Every structure is written in structure tokens, then in C-alpha cells.
Structure 1
Amino acid sequence: MAEELQPKTTLGKSFPVKPKLKPKARTLSQTPESKYWSSFKTQQIPNLISSINSISFSQIPPHLFAAAHSASLTLFSSQTLSQHSVISSFKDVVSCSSFRSDGALLAASDLSGLIQVFDVKTRTPLRRLRSHSRPVHFVQYPLLDKLHVVSGGDDGIVKYWDVSSENVVLDLFGHKDYVRCGDCSPVNAEMFVTGSYDHTVKLWDVRVENSKSVMEVNHGKPIEDVMFLPSGGLAATAGGNSVKIWDLIGGGKLLYSMESHNKTVTSVCLGRFGNESGEEAMQYRILSVALDGYMKVFDYVNMKVTHSMRFPAPLMSVAFSPDGMTRVIGTSNGSIFAGRKKRENVESGLVNFWSLGRVEEPQKRLLRPTYFRYFQRGQSEKPSESDFLVVRPKKLKLGEHDKLLKKFRHKEALVCVLSGKNPENVVAVMEELVARRKLLKCVSNLDNEELGLLLSFLQKHSTIPRYSGLLMGLMKKVLEMRAEDIKASDILKSHIRNLKRSVEEEIRIQQSLQEIQGIISPLLRIAGRK
């Protein structure tokens, strides 16, 4: 049997027999960036009726943010995360919203094809832009332009509007499917990108006379979101389970594809990592959310995911405030998870330097040999890197079976551990006896009662995968060596019947799993081809 194996033995030594280690969940080290993103204290804003299709921030303090849900547009304070106001002048589901650069106006679109421009303070609709024949899913004010908006809808047309006259300046054709997203350049008011379910992202320039796109990239999946990166020369696209980075200046070259999500990525935005001042404040990150409930933070300079966070619902939208203090995530069940970062109060707990002048540190009391503390000094000091630390060996606590093994009482050690309730210790003792070439001898010397303990253990644990390698071989040897004793005892026969039923049940389970695998494997191959 297994006695041919020669594992390392602890023969004659006082080391305790240790069970095999179970696999443990991997714990990631807490990096400074993980601590930073975890420092956003999340607050749930529930009961917004339906899916949060879009979230947008005002560029002007106090940075209100608008959440589009159902046939309403709700404005929240980014500082208190409380509701500021509600705009209900819609006849259909609100799909997108965008603040003007000065924060005074707000453009919003709905699935009826109508785009409305509101005064943020009074919530009064000032302009109604109607030209799309199908639902509009994207509308945005250019960052450097207060007079125009860009929109795209299910009619496949991208429109460039003059807000003051409510007229379309340009109709941009080229997409072959629904236009679902877009973004305006942060460095050029005349350029913007749009993404469509035809898998393409097109770069437009309104100065081009023939109204054709100046560049096109193929994401390979229906585009759910697209955005410019701060330089204006790179763009990020979200579609399928991937986020891709494109070099627009380099002719639309694919730089990287991040595929850490398990389901469709629904929205991306820019976030800032670092303190409120200093060089770290200019480190930008891509925040992506998906239907798998995860938010991922992607460092597109080093091309790696630096943080991940799970939420209890599919995620539909994400936005980050311009001051870097508020992160807002919208879900499919009508809840908002808004995280607010606390400002580091440098002055808290400190003495006012200007009013009290210089604060002197209190002098430490000098220790003298006449003081009792003089003889206790240094006992609580921590060692420095240059010190050589002498550690006292810990006293080993041996179990009863370890003490018996130490005295070479092998059979008694096996019976002792079989009487316990820890199968890991039983298997560990058996492996030690295999290493000492004493396991089969112990089995042959067991009386009927002790043999019953062994058969009962084999019946319960021989089909467990991590034990079966040893116990199945041992079970075969026990049946060969103690066949006569088993035939002569009704109790031992009942153990064998129970053991047979356990093995037959395990065989049936494995056959069922193979049948299920045979059904699923062709489906997985077909899905992989698509």
C-alpha cells in the first residue's frame, strides 16, 4: 500500500504531528492607494425608484451632482450628500445630463428624443431641443464652450446644437447603430468623440466641412461609455467586460486593454489619487463600474488595477467630483452609493502657534540609581534594525497521540486519535505511521472494537477528496487483512455495508457531474467562439 512511500518522519523527535494545511484565501497587502480609495466613507442614498442611468457633476463649487432616474432629475449636494432639488419636467425616462462649465445651466435628455436646458437655481426649462426621431442617450456641454451642446441617440445621428436658437448646426452621420455615449475634448471645444453599439468610436471635428468623422477605432464590443483623458490625446472606451486605452494622436493605436471585470462595463470616469496639494494631486485614475457589482481603479500610466471594491447590486454609472472629494456610484436598483473623503485637519489637536508662541517640550525626568524605574529601564524598548534579537524557543504542547508516538506506542496512538473528533489529526497520525512503516502492523493488532472505530472513520471520510488518496488504499488493505474478523462480527459487517453505500453514492455523484460536464462543455465552446 502506501508504505512504499517515504515521506519525512519525526521518528524519535518531540515534534507534534501536524495536519496538512488547508488552502487559505489570498489577502492583498494594503497599499497607500488602496487606503486612499478606502478612505471614502460610503453612504447609501436609497429609494430613487429606478436605475440610475447617469451621474454628472457641476464644475463650480459647491459641485452639485445630478442623478438621472425614471422621469426625474435629482440634484444633490456633494458636501452633505443631501437632496438639493428635483426637476420633474420630463414625459419619459431621463437618460443623461450635463452641467455647463459655469454651473448655471443643465442640459438633460430623455427617451422621448427631447433635450431640455434648465436654469439650475430656478429649475425652469429655458430651451427645448427637438430633432432626434428616436430616444436620446447622450447629451453634453463642451468644457470650453457655453453656447453649444452635442447629442446622440438611437437614430444613429450625432447632432451639434446652437442652444440659444434651438437649432441644429450640424448633423453628423457615420454610425450604423445606436449612439449611446460621448465626450467632449478637454483641450479643444470643436472636437468630441461618440460611441455606438456598432462597436466603433468616432472622433468628430465640427470644423470639417464634409461632416465626416476624422478618426474611427473599433472596440470589438458594443460601446457603453467613452471619455477623453486629461491630455486630450488619449481616450478610454468601455464595452463588453473590457476598458481600452487608445492613442488618438498616434492614429487610433490601441495602447492597453483592461479586462478585470466579469460582466459588461457600464460606465467610466476620471478620478484623482493623492492629497489636496502637491504632486500626488495630479495623478489621475480611471474608475470603471460594471454589472458584476465591482468598481475598479485603473492606473493607466503603469497599466495596472490598483484597487477594487464590491457593491451589493449591478452598477450603472459612476462620477467623481472635480475637487476630488466625492465619489458617486449609481446602481440598477435605484440606490446611490456616495463616498465623501474627509479633509485632513492639520490644525486639529495642535496648539495655536501664533497665539501662544513657541511651545517647549517638557523635560524628561532623569533616572538615577536610587529610583526603582532605573532598574526597569529598557525592558519595553523595541529592537532597532542593527540589534540582534534572541528569541526564546516556545515550549511545544504535545497532544496525547503525540506523546504516545514519542514513546513508540503506535497502536495506542492510532486508537487514541480515532476516538477523537478531528479527522485531520487522524490522517496526520496515519501518515506518520506510514513513514515509520507501522500502519499495517497497527491495523493487524486492532481488536474488534478498535477495528470498528477504524471502519467507522473510513466510512465517513474516505470519499473526501483531500483524504481519499490515503484512505482508499488503507480501506483496501483492511478488507484484505481482516476479512475473517469482519465475517465473524455482525457489527463489523454493518460498518462494511455503510462503507459500501458511501462509495456507491460517491460514484453516482461523480457520474452525474460527468453528465453535466458533457452538457455544458459544448455550450461553453460555442459561447467562446462568439
Structure 2
Amino acid sequence: MSWFKAINTNKYIKTGPAITPDLVYWKKLSVPTLVKEFGAIDYIDFSPVEPHYFAVTCSVRVQIYNPITKLVAKNLSRFQSNAYGGCFRKDGRLLVAGDEEGFVKLFDVSSRNVLRFFRGHKAAVHRTFFTEDLLKVASFSDDKTVRLWDIATEKTINSFEGHSDYIRAGSVNPTSPNIILSGGYDNAIKMYDTRTDSAVFSVDHGSPVESLLFLPTGGIFLSAGGTEVKVWDVLAGGKLLARLSQHHKTVTTLKLASNGRRILSGGLDRHVKVYDVATYQQVHNMDFPNSILSLGVAPEDQTLVVGMVDGLVSIQNMEQSDKEVKVEKKRALISSMHVDQVVPESTHGTEAKYNHHLRKFEYSKALDCVMRAYVTHKSPHITVSVLQELIHRKGLHRALAGRNHTSLGTIIRFILKHIGEHRFMRVLTDAAAVLLEVYEDEFDQFTGDIGKLFINLAKALRSEVDLTYDLLELQGALELIIGAASISENRDESIQFTKDTTNIRQSEKAKASSVVSLM
């Protein structure tokens, strides 16, 4: 009978997060591999060149990891004190990092040698970046200055002052080598133009600035500090475009992902939030074991690395399912062949046993199928869906009649276990009423455990009825309170309106009398 419609069992599935494309996409990340480092993870940066090694700055070293093996490939340890902000150049050949003593060091990644040693800062340098032209290095220091260094000569090209507290955040414009952004613990964000040797504008974030990030176009930047991420328009002179307030503790790091279409923010609340660049709305959330200080994302989202305050580094690779791999292989095979038309494979779903029995009006067998232990424990929504279908068909009486004590005990235990769940309460209450109605003439024959189960079932139904009455009374009381509050609010508004009108009239009378006296 091809017209038979199978039962919709999904309507009673426990509600969870909405299945969105971002949820599906980020769930492809593998189980985290946790690596323990010697100190808090200050900064993480990926090499733009394959195989996209990533640098982890912590303690007195910069460790360069292989994202495939998740092992340390190289170790840059030419530091006498804590290292900060290890960052790759676009070609992946050089790496620059600051340290606690105020020095900025430039490394050759392949040989691990120090190529340049920039001296000039008087306090710790927490962030360092290469400019867009790859010829200069920008450094941001606790001495409240920002410096631009020439790689060829090791000399300072520009030095910018203006902050009144430590500078712990910075960024360089991805489209212009002359624009530099700095953020300090004085809540200020300043944009500098190296051609004019001065600040272009300054905005107030409202909290100590922990991280700054330019979007790929260079016309918009984001700042993180306190519990907020703010979006600013560069071309409009630092106009505030949006506030992202999804974290409940300090936001410490910002990164771009998905080729610039997604923004990632990490914070001390142990969460990484994912935002859509187009709407600035949160589209996904990830949890981690401890407070997050830094994160990095490889090109094409191949690897996500998160650094935490206790020295843990979480490494996750983006995985493809076997089905996706087969589809890609099939597409590659088809693209290499010359065919006129590709006929898609047709798949036929197997019919569930309870649907088979329902189609044949075998109600008792259908109920037996969904009362098995592996169904009631793992998928109780299927059992409830079949019970509802039997009630609609007026076949539950027939399905429950003539059962032995073992079968009745299984049904009653299932009802007692799940009748308190709001998803199932209405259906199971009706099913319990039908069960009591079917066996009301045989209650005196039930002894032992089955008799106790029937008594417990009657008590459960009575308690659910009492709870319903209590909730209805509470609902009525809340409606009275809300109604009284709205009436009081309207009365206050009318009184205020009357006072304002009276004041206006009195002021007009005073003006008129003053005019008359002058005449």
C-alpha cells in the first residue's frame, strides 16, 4: 500500500540547538588534542604558507608546531625573559616576536637564527606585526609607544606616543603599509599614518583594549576589551557600527576565519564565539576547558588552535566524513570522464517494524515493537509517537487488552518514568487513562508488584492533575499582577503628562505677563 504515511517521530525529540549550516560546519572539527606548555599561551599565529605550521608563544620561547602531527617542529628559544606576540610574515620565511626586556627579534624560520635585533623600547613589547609591504615591523610596548622599524637597517622609522597606559593590542592595515592601529589599557584606540607621523583619529572603547583586528578590506576594524567586541568604521573617522556582547567575562583575542566571512572571539569565560561578518550576529559557540588567552585559525579553517591561561593548547583539525570523501572522489571521476548525463543514485529507506504493523492494523504487535528496552531507553519519543497514533486510531484499547503481567509492568513503568516530561505528559496521561479504563474490572485480581504499579500509576495521575491546578492558579495570579502593573504604569504616565502640561501652561502665562508688563 504505497499511500501509507509513516509516523512522524521527530515531533517529540528533545529540543536542542537549531541545526544551522554553521553548527554542521564547525561540528566537523576533530576531538581536541591537548598539549601542555610551560606557561600561559600569549599568542598563536599560523604561517600563510603550506603546510601552515603555527607558532605558539609562551614563557621564554616560541614553539612552531606541525598541524598534522601536532608535534613541535622547531623551537625558537633565543630569549632571556618572557616572549610575546610571535607572528609570521606573509611568505612564511620570517617570524618576529617581542620580549619582556623591550627587545624585538626577527628570526629566520628555517635556520632559527636571529637576523635582526631591534632596540629602543624601554618596557615589554607585547605585540609585533609585519606591515603589508613586508619591509617593516610594527611593535607595541608597555612604554606607551608604538614604533615602526625598517628591517634592512634595524632603525626606527616612526615612533608614536599618545597613550597614557600600557599598549597591549595592535594591528596593521591589510591593504595599506602606512596605517597602524594601537589599543591600550587607557581604553583608547589610536590610528596612525606613517606618512604624516601623527594620529589620524582616536576612539574610546570603554574598557582596556585586549585585541584589535582589521577586516580584509581595511575599512573596518574590531576591538575587544571588557565583555564587548566593538566594530568601527575607519572611513567614517572611527564611527561605531556595532556592539557584540555575547561574552560574560573579558574578551582576550580576535581572529578571522572562513576566508574573512566569520569572526572568532575568545574570552576568559572559556567560550569561543563565531560571528557572521555580514550581520555581526553570533552563529556558533564552542566551549573549552579553561580561560582562553589566544586562538589561531589556519587558512580554509583546516586547523583551529586555542591557547589557555594554564598552558594548555587545544588543536583541532577539520575532518571530512567518509560520505563527503566518496562524493568528492565520484565528482573527480565524473569530471575526468566524458558522459552525456549523470543519473543520480536512488535510495530506498527501510520501513520501521512498527509502521509495518500499523499498516496492517496489528496494533498490539506495533505496541510490542516500541516497548522493547532498546527503544524505550534510547528513543522514548518513538514509543510516545506510536501511543499517540494508536489513540488517534482509537486502537489503544485493543492494543492494551489481554496482556500478561510482564507486558503490563513494562508499559506502566514507561509511563511512570516519562509522564513528568512536558514533551510526553499529554499523550502519556491519555494512555494511562485508557490503561486504567481497560483493566478497571480486573483490579481486584492484581496482586504483588503489578498491583503496586497500578497504585503508583493512579497516584502519578493524581499528582499531575494537582500540579496542573497549581500552575493554573499561579498563571492567574501572575496575570493579575501584570495587569495591575500595566494599569499603574499607565496612571503614572498620565499623571506625568498632566504635570508636564501644567508646567508648560504656567511658563506660557509667565511669559505673557512679562510681555504685558513691558508694554
Shorter-chain TM-score bucket reads 0.5 to 0.7
Alpha-carbon distance between aligned partners in 1 of 2:293 and 2:20, rounded to the nearest angstrom: 27
Shift of 1:72: 1.1
Shift of 1:135: 0.9
Q: Does 1:172 align with 2:156?
A: no
Matched ranges for 1:471-510 at <5 A: none
Q: Does 1:102 align with 2:103?
A: no
CA 1:92–1:347: 2 relative to 1, 3 Å = same
Structure 2: which 5+ residue stretches go unaligned?
A: 1-12, 346-355, 361-388, 401-410, 413-430, 445-450, 475-519
Q: Secondary structure at the match of 1:297?
A: strand
User: How many residues are matched?
Assistant: 379
Q: Does 1:47 align with 2:83?
A: no
2:219 to 205, 210, 233: 233
Structure 1: which 5+ residue stretches go unaligned?
A: 1-23, 273-281, 365-375, 381-388, 435-464, 470-530
Alpha-carbon distance between aligned partners in 2 of 1:422 and 1:166, rounded to the nearest angstrom: 86
Alpha-carbon distance between aligned partners in 1 of 2:134 and 2:221, rounded to the nearest angstrom: 23
CA 1:407–1:321: 2 relative to 1, 3 Å = closer
Q: Does 1:58 align with 2:47?
A: yes
Alpha-carbon distance between aligned partners in 1 of 2:168 and 2:303, rounded to the nearest angstrom: 26
CA 1:98–1:421: 2 relative to 1, 3 Å = same
CA 1:401–1:286: 2 relative to 1, 3 Å = closer
Q: Does 1:395 align with 2:376?
A: no
RCO higher in structure (CA 8 A, sep ≥6) = 1
Q: Does 1:115 align with 2:115?
A: no
Q: Deviations over 1:211-265 (max 9, x none)?
A: 3210111110000000101111100000001111111111111111011111100
Q: Deviations over 1:32-67 (max 9, x none)?
A: 111111212143231212111000112222222100
Q: Does 1:154 align with 2:142?
A: yes
Shift of 1:191: 0.5
1:326 to 283, 303, 311: 303
Alpha-carbon distance between aligned partners in 1 of 2:456 and 2:101, rounded to the nearest angstrom: 72
Q: Return the letter of the residue paired with 1:338.
A: I
Corresponding position of 2:237: 251
Matched ranges for 1:322-471 at <5 A: 322-342=299-319, 345=325, 346-348=327-329, 352-353=333-334, 392=393, 395=396, 402=433, 420=456, 424-430=460-466
Q: Return the letter of the residue paired with 1:154.
A: D
In 1, are the aligned partners of 2:216 and 2:260 still within 8 Å (CA)?
no
Matched ranges for 1:130-149 at <5 A: 130-142=119-131, 144-149=132-137
In 2, are the aligned partners of 1:73 and 1:94 still within 8 Å (CA)?
yes
Alpha-carbon distance between aligned partners in 1 of 2:120 and 2:458, rounded to the nearest angstrom: 74
Q: Does 1:285 align with 2:262?
A: yes
Give the % identical residues. Answer: 30
In 1, are the aligned partners of 2:257 and 2:300 still within 8 Å (CA)?
no
CA 1:70–1:350: 2 relative to 1, 3 Å = same
Shift of 1:394: 5.9
Alpha-carbon distance between aligned partners in 1 of 2:88 and 2:112, rounded to the nearest angstrom: 13
**Length-normalised TM-score, structure 2:** 0.65
In 2, are the aligned partners of 1:353 and 1:359 still within 8 Å (CA)?
no
Q: Return the letter of the residue paired with 1:295.
A: V
Q: Deviations over 1:305-363 (max 9, x none)?
A: 0000111111110111234322211111212112222365444367945888769999x
In 2, are the aligned partners of 1:417 and 1:426 still within 8 Å (CA)?
no
In 2, are the aligned partners of 1:242 and 1:265 still within 8 Å (CA)?
yes
Q: Does 1:212 align with 2:198?
A: yes
Between Structure 1 and Structure 2, the one with more helix by share is: 2
Bigger shift: 36-45 or 250-259?
A: 36-45
Q: Deviations over 1:100-129 (max 9, x none)?
A: 221111101111211111100010111111
What RMSD in Å do the two structures reach over aligned CA positions?
3.8
Q: Does 1:124 align with 2:113?
A: yes
Shift of 1:196: 0.5
Alpha-carbon distance between aligned partners in 2 of 1:34 and 1:418, rounded to the nearest angstrom: 45
CA 1:350–1:300: 2 relative to 1, 3 Å = closer
